[in-house]
Structure formats: C-alpha cells, structure tokens
A and B are shown apart, each in its own frame.
Chain A
Amino acid sequence: MGLNYYQIKKNVLQARKLVIRGTSIAGSGHPGGSFSMAEIMGCIFYNHLKYDPKNPEWDGRDKLILSKGHASPGLFSNMAVAGYFEESQLDTLRQFGSKLQGHPDLKCPGVEFCGGSLGIGLSYSIGNALAAKLDQKDTHIFTVMGDGESDEGQVWEAAMTAAKYNVDNLTLILDRNFIQQDSYTEKIMPLDESLDDNELSEMWKDASRWKTGDKWRSFGWNVIEVDGHRIEQVSDAISRAKSVKGMPSIIIARTIKGKAVEHMEDNPQWHGKAPALSLVPVINQELDSQFMIAPSIIAGDMRNLENEVKRCDDGRADYIHLDVMDGQFVPNSTFDHTKIKELRSLTVTPFDTHLMINEPVKQIQNYIDAGSDIITVHAEVCDESSFGEIHDLLKSNKVSVGLAINPDTSMPDWSKKFISTLDQIIVMSVVPGKSGQKYIENTHEKTKNLMINLKENDFTGYIESDGGVTLDNIGECFTDGARAFVGGSAIIGQTDVRLVIREFRNQVLRTRRKLLIQKANELGGTELVNKWIDLHVIGKKKDELHQIAMELGYQ
C-alpha cells in the first residue's frame, strides 16, 4: 500500500483497538503478543506487503506468515483495517462458527498459514519462498516469529535450510518482546543471556547484552536490529532486508509485550488473557493518548546540526523538528531544504518540517524532495487555494500535512474543509522566530477550545505544541489535547538529551495516568478505579496510581 508514517500510525492504533475489542468480547486471546508486534504488522501491511483484500488469492500477492499464531488478534485486526473483512467481524473472534479462529487458519480468506503449533512457520515460509523461486515469481514472504518460539529446535533447522538455499525472497521478523508464557524469555530459555533479577528494562536497553543477532549471523543470516515500535525503523529495516540478495535476512525487532497499554507492558500475565469489558473504554482512551516528543534542533549548535540530529536519535526523540525560517515571515533565518536533504541521510527518524516562510506553495516541492515526513505551513501565509495546492501535493507524495497558527491567529475559516484530512496542527505558544521564549499562558485555553472544534470536524491528526514547552507545563499541554511536543532549549539546550526526553515522557505519563483514573471514575466510580489500579502490577506504578486516586478524592 505504501502509506506514510502517520497513516501507518493511525492504522496501527485502529488495529490495537480492534485487538482489545475482539479479545474482550471473546473473553480470551493473546493481546500481549499482538501489541508487541503491532508496529511490525503495520509496516508489513501498509508499507511493504503486496495484496488485494478483495481478491485474497491474487497470484501476484506476497505472503505474510504469522508463525507466532497465538497473536492472531494482531493479524485479524490488521486484515480488517486493510479491508479483507468488516471490523465488526472481530466480535466473532474465537467463537463457534467464526472464520476468526483462536489461531490463524486458512478458513479465513487471506490467511496464508495455520499457526498455533510453534516453530513451524519458518520452515513453511521457506517452502513458499522456494516455490516462488521455482516459478520465477516476484513473491516476497514476510514471516513474523516470536522469541519464545525460538526455543523450538525446528526454528534452527529452518535457519540452516534458508541459508543453504540462499532464500533471499523471505524476510523474517523476530518479535523480540522478552516474554513467553511462563515468564521472561531470559529466565525460561535465554536467547541473549540469563536474567537473574527482573530488570528486563535494563537488558532491553543494553546492546552489549544482546546475543540473539550473533546466533543468526552464525547461521548465515543477514541480521538487522531495530526498535520494533519505531515505524520508521522497522519499515526501513524491511527495505534493507529486501535489498540484500543471496542470503536470508532477519530483523530482530526489540519490542515490549503489551505495548501501548501500561498495565500490560512487560507483564507476562498478559501473554494470554483478555481485558475486562468494563475497562475497555479506559484502555481505548489510553490507546488514543499516544504522544510524540519532537526536539527542535535549531536550539542547538547551528554550525553542527549533524551532531544535533545524532543527539536526537541517541535521545530517542520521536521526530526531529526542523524550523525553517526565511528572514521574511519571521525576522530570523535558519536553513533551507538543502540542509534538510543533507541531514536526511543521517537518520530514519521522521522529519517534522515546520516552514516559517512566506509563500510556502512556491517552495513545497523542494521540501518534499528533501525527505520531510511531515510538512507544516503557516495559515497566515496561505489561503484556501494555495493551501489546497500544498495539501494535495503533500498527500500525493505521501507526506503528512500540517497547518500552523501563530499565537495571535486562530484557524482560518477556509481551513475547515481540510480539517478531516490534516495530520497535524501546530499551535504556536510563542511568537515564532527564535528559541528560548516563554510559553504564552492563554495558549492552554486556545488549544482546549480548538480541540473541541476539531473533534466536531472529524480531525484525526495530532495537535503539536510548539514554543516554551517545559517539564512544568507539558502535562497541562497534554491535558489540553496536544499530543506532539516540540522542545527547543528545554531539550536540545540540555546536556543529556536522552534523560530530559525521558523526563518529558514521564511527566506526560503521570498526567495521562491521572486522566485515565478520572475516566475510570466517571465510568464506574471507586470500584472501577480500584479495578484499574490493581492491574498495574509491574514496577511502582500502583503506588503512584493510588496516590493520584487519593488526591482526586476517589479513595
């Protein structure tokens, strides 16, 4: 399909919601492993796999083999989003007579493999890949395997076979979520190294402790390792894997079991358990509350933006915010598309290009060509016609579309017709032009009101807060409705970018937890609040949630 970053992200979100819907109604199923591979499946389905949902047996299709068959809700939900069947079909998951069986089954058109018994999918994929070669077909096989599944000896029989036959029309993606049914993989059967304590997160972060890649390399495979929740990394890895000829490729995608729902994350209990129906609205709100941190590199060393990009990557920024100033729309000038093009080769992290320039319509193609993922132009220098042109050009080039408004402007009337297809709206909370200004307080009110208006007009994008966002006000910005946060001097201006981004995230998470507790209270009072809190068994979250609930007067 070849969707862009935002579109994939939205589809992944929708698929996650369907997993919750399906498993909660079924009363059983495997949300944990469905969520760890959510972005992997999103990248396969919406950026790489060739298929026709209306003609599942189309001869020219690629094949997706879900070897970790228990994560079938994660497959079926994407098939629904992709158009194989109605989303309401997920309501029949695991029920008598449904084509959506407990594990993927050929009974469901579009499913290519009967999963369930682990360790088989790679061998089966090799068979399909060999057949495609014999038939001289341009079929690519995408195989998603679990890490617990790697305990199976057959996996390694298959690994040798793929290397022997130079199976390069197959990309294996290992959903390395570190958890299997009984416990952490490194406790049950270590792939990296044995885990004595429960400090999974430490191992996740420490590349020197990862041995899985070495195993596959020694079996003759091309190995690519990525953060399996970063769409841009997974998608880029698949492209690279496909370009390697003469040997099989594996992408080891480090993931988090239960990713995107805090109480499920890294919690072995959620390997195979369905969420309670009563909590589904709270979970959905949590899923809807994803957020992105976007450091603005102009707040750093303008003579060495290459290094600033590296600092963003090392700091795990979600986007890199690129402020383009032309010295006319704003008094300062920064850089133009030529610089962006230079920086593009350094990273796959999405470029969030913010054009503070006059007559953007004349320049827009240059910024598309430079490799921007999102381009935002200012409402003040557009009208319906020029923005329409920009909007269509961006959409046709698969670049996400943003519209920005200054502190003293509001969304123009002409923007209404574009709202439902906008990916991003930047609400400037300082006068644009330079870094280091203070957040203008009335932007909170402005954002809240805008949010109400946007919802009425079917906005599905994200509001980005830009200007003066700090640890002190990011929580409130989130409460207002903003989901992306630009950080200039508050992030890039700091020595340890990774630490400060983590602090920003934690601050948002604290706010988010509070909003979710409020939601639980609204739906079911103290009883539901307590039920919600009791789910949070990993780490110290439960104590924090109790504290929040007490402060809110719910306990």
Chain B
Amino acid sequence: MSAEFGDMRTAYGSALIELGEQDKNIVVLGADTTDSLKTSGFGKNFPDRFFNVGIAEANLVSVAAGLAYSGKTSFASTYAIFLPGRCVDQIRNSIAYPSRGEKKGLNVKLVTSHGGLSVGPDGGSHQTIEDIAIMRVIPNMKVIIPADAIAVSKLTKNISQIYGPFYMRMARSKVPNVHSDSQEFEIGKGITLRDGNDCTIAATGITVKMALDAADKLQQDGISCRVIDCFTIKPIDKDILEKAARETGGIVTCEEHNIMGGFGSAVSEVVSEIYPVPIRRIGAQDMFGESARDAEIPQLLEKHGITSINIEKTVKDIRSKQ
C-alpha cells in the first residue's frame, strides 16, 4: 500500500495563518527557528502578532505566558529538544501552574517539531526521547502527538479552541498520511484505525503508520489486530484502552520516545489499574539516539526496535503469553 506523504510543519504553519485570520487574539512566538517551524508565514501575514525572541527559549516560554495572561492565545514553537528539555521550569511555573478559578494554567500552546529519533542527521543531542515524560507529569498540561499532517492541521485548530496549556509534538520528516481528510479529532479520545480482536497495537506519532503496516502483515498470518492512534496522551483515552484490554487481551505500545515514562508507561498505568492484561512497550530502549542520514533513519529506529517488523514480532510474543 503506497501512502501519500504530508509535511507536519507546513500543515501547522498553514493552520496558524487560517487561525490568525479568524481570531486576532492568536499570537505566535518563535526562537530563531521560525522558517523551519513554518511559523514565519504567520509573521508575514500578521507581523504585529509575531514575536521572534531569538535563541532564548526560556524567555520564549515566559513571554508567551505573559501574552496569554493578558488574554492572548499564544502559540510558542521551536524544536522539541529545546522546549520541554531546556525550559521545564518556565513551562511549569509560568504556564502550567498559574491558575485562577476554573482557568487551570495559562492559554499557551507549545508546539514543537523534530520530536523523537527520526530527527536523523543532527544526532543524539537533538533527538528528544524525554518530552512526553517531562510534559505529562506537569499538572494542567495536555500532551498530544499527531500521527500525520492531517492530524496536525486539525489539532492545531482544535487546541486553539480549548483553554489551557498544550504540548504538541511533530516530527521533522514528511510522514505518510494515516488519516483521511474527513477524520475528526477530539482531545481525550483515541481513534481506532483498524478493528481486531486478537491483540491491540496502541501507537502514537509516526509509529501509527508502523502499527498499521504490522497489522496488515499479521492479518496475513491470521492474527486480527486492533490499531489505535493514541494522539491524545494526556488526557489519555481510558475507555478505549479498557475496551481494548477486555476485548483483545494484550496491548503493544509504540512510540518514538524512551519506553520509560512515556506513552507506553501511560498506557500501562491505565490498564494495570483498570483491567490488567500483558503489555509490551516499543520505543527507545533507555538509550540516546545518534546521527543517521535521512535514508538511514529506519536503521536508527531499528536499533531501538521501532519498526513494523518488531511490532509484528512483539504481537506474536505477547499472544504466546496470553
């Protein structure tokens, strides 16, 4: 099956311009990566509402917080490695913590690109495999990881309409579309892309496509796998996970993130409390990444077991334990 590819950053940039036209309270901030993040288009259209603060991420976060406190919807963007990793204090104390009444946290959307290992050539220093863990433990922070450009476009608009802090992580490279243009996204609701009863593959970000490919292969072996796009990691969709546990008896999680503290951990927390079934986590094996040219990225991912083949193997393994 050949899929169409989409660029997440382009989708993000276009969505911002659309939002900017509709809502004059939208402001966009960048930290010297605005061409890369494709936010500079917003800046050309709305120069007064666009702030490039230079290579100063801590400042980026807190200026965005100040704008939000004064009623703006702030989108602050740069590479994933520089936002949660470098600025956890500013994110916690100037965005997530400040709450008044029903308003929990300030209305800042932290949208990053270059998440995970698939950053490629820039190497381990730029491959963030900790951001989900860091962001999801901060109260009031919501964490979402779209699987394709369609999801990015819709979710950008979606989170602009919901009050409060969000962290949204995109991938650097073009990714194959896994959703149709008509797909709707609701925060807190996972999407079942493929139904099945033998096992569940819960995936997030670019690994959703791997999950679908694995499910196709497994189907040929007579194993019917359910595939869920868990783009909404916090709030996580407990219902869809409980249902999957009850109906399929085992869950394999996939993420482009350390298996410790990330999406797999989040799923394990839910399932072990509600309806314990065997779980296997696929992701970075508590090791940092390293450089890989674009064509070599699959090799880098393979080193950590983040491949459709490994998903397939893991599903078979988990079924043997069921």
Contact = CB atoms under 8 A, between A and B. Distances in A.
Contacts of A260: none
B93 A120 contact: yes
A117 interface: yes
B51 interface: yes
Contact of A126 (B58, B66, B90, B93): B66
Interface in A108-137: 109, 112-114, 116-117, 119-120, 123-132, 134-135
Contact of A154 (B48, B59, B67, B97): B59
A119 B92 CA distance: 14
B27 A112 contact: no
Contacts of A127: 62-70, 74
A154 to B, nearest CB: 4
A128 B98 contact: no
B100 interface: yes
Interface stretch (A158-166, A345-353, A486-494): A158-166
A153 B65 contact: no
A348 to B, nearest CB: 32
A106 B98 contact: yes
Given A123-B58, A125-B66, A160-B54, A106 B90 contact: no
Residue among B53, B59, B98 with the highest chain A CB neighbour number at 10 A? B59
A124 B94 contact: yes
Nearest to A105: B98
Interface string B73-108: 010000000000000011011100111100000000
B67 A157 contact: no
A125 B97 CA distance: 17
B59 A123 contact: yes
Interface string A468-503: 000000000000000000000000000000000000
Given A120-B62, A134-B27, A154-B90, A114 B98 contact: yes
A245 interface: no
A116 B93 contact: yes
B73 to A, nearest CB: 11
Given A154-B58, A154-B90, A132 B70 contact: yes
A130 B66 contact: yes
A457 B72 CA distance: 53
A123 B57 CA distance: 11
B189 interface: no
Given A120-B90, A120-B93, A128 B58 contact: no
B97 A114 contact: yes
A134 B54 contact: no
Nearest to B93: A117
Interface in A157-201: 157-158, 160-161, 165
Interface residues of B, number: 31
Contacts of A116: 93
A106 B66 contact: no
A134 B65 contact: no
B136 to A, nearest CB: 20
Nearest to B68: A127
Given A117-B89, A123-B62, A130 B71 contact: no
Contacts of A158: 59, 62-63
Given A124-B94, A154-B90, A160-B56, A130 B67 contact: yes
Interface string A131-161: 1101100010000000000000110011011
B217 interface: no
A54 interface: no
Given A117-B93, A157-B59, A124 B65 contact: yes
Interface string A271-310: 0000000000000000000000000000000000000000
Given A130-B51, A134-B72, A154 B94 contact: no
A417 interface: no
A165 B69 CA distance: 19
B49 interface: yes
Nearest to B64: A127
Residue among B61, B66, B68, B72 with the highest chain A CB neighbour number at 10 A? B66
A116 B92 CA distance: 12
A383 B98 CA distance: 58
A107 interface: yes
A288 B70 CA distance: 40
B93 A114 contact: yes
Interface of A: 105-107, 109, 112-114, 116-117, 119-120, 123-132, 134-135, 139, 153-154, 157-158, 160-161, 165
12 contacts: A112-B69, A113-B69, A117-B90, A124-B66, A127-B67, A130-B66, A131-B70, A134-B49, A154-B56, A154-B62, A158-B62, A161-B56
Return the 5 tightest CB-CB contacts between A and B, nearest first: A127-B66, A131-B70, A123-B62, A157-B56, A157-B59
